[in-house]
Amino acid sequence: MKYIHKVDMEEIKGEIEISLLPWKERMSKAKEIVYKIVDGNYVDRHEIEQGEATIDLAISRVTSVNLKANDIEIKSIDELMFYMEGSIIVNEISRIVLNGLSLGKK
């Protein structure tokens, strides 16, 4: 399922298209983020590893970026990640990728 994430921060506006995962794949990815296999056993990942894996997953699900910040056009997730606000936006996307969408009002 494709989802258009609207970005409307003070100076950054536009859209990011995300390819969402079905619930079963989301659960599998969540397990991969939290645990790793060491000597055939599941072991908790360090918090930093979990953060990296979460961001990697979110970035991998982005299919297009169309943002504008002042006079700067941002057309890729790699470009976005150069900016402090990029981390904030990717964290928002991470929650959507892992939790799915809400049917309620936002």
pTM, two decimals, is: 0.86
Question: How far is CA 59 from each of CA 9, 42, 106, rounded to the nearest angstrom?
Answer: 19, 25, 23
Q: Is the pLDDT of residue 104 over 80?
A: no
Check residue 36 and give its pLDDT.
87
Backbone φ/ψ region at 50: left (φ over 0), alpha (ψ -120 to 50), beta:
alpha
Check residue 5 and give its pLDDT.
96
pLDDT tens digits, one per residue of 29-88? 999 999 988 898 889 999 999 999 999 999 999 999 999 998 999 999 999 999 999 999
Instruction: Indicate the average pLDDT of the chain.
Output: 93
